[in-house]
Structure 1
């Protein structure tokens, strides 16, 4: 009798204890982890030194676009670009700002006709980008990240 009672008691304790640990493990393994990262947007855009005090994110973006356009326009204005034919084209310049805030040229999308008319344009553009000041890099989740963007340059003569 004691033997049967002991076996029943032992099995009931075994079943209860396994259920207890199972629920405990199950509770510990369920965690909400935020792993969805949108790689197409940043929390803060790369900034020139005089744009960093602007509070609005959208106005910072506009300030960045204006500053880079003015800098490149001023650099291109220093050179005499001579073409034998009329040039009316939009050149797409892909720029990269790394985590240290340095700007580099990724790619220039230029038509063959414009490249033929202005063969020195890409080297002038590279020199103008080297003269850019060091920027504050873009921020994503409180970490500096490398960003790439496309700047259109409209040429008309």
Structure 2
């Protein structure tokens, strides 16, 4: 089941919320900053441990931490691609963000996952293309994995909400 809502991902009660992180995992602006602020220092401390162990997170990959004070059990941090005209593997990397996040959620027995609009803010990914990639990746994953029962696209603004809804309707 796929839901689309407009709102603040830090308020969503799902087993896991996904953070559009940067490679350092140490917080930033946008969704990343909001998750770190709302979740409290436990998230940053967990991220620091990951950085000490593996040196951050590469574009397209995902790592999991506690959710701290958030109404979720976990936060999955994934690093979306910076838009560079579409000729540097951005689509494949964005697709990988969704698939790797869902695989990590399934490994941790999560049944509900909430996603932001990855890479569509400061990273400049065209919103329409990003919405299509997001919906396609989630549908592909759900077609073969029965553990996750609900995916929620949490859109920060009406434009992204409309684009995700349109992408989902086109794939039905």
**What is the TM-score when the length of structure 1 is the normalising length?**
0.27
Q: Which has the larger radius of gyration?
A: 1
TM-score, normalization by structure 2: 0.26
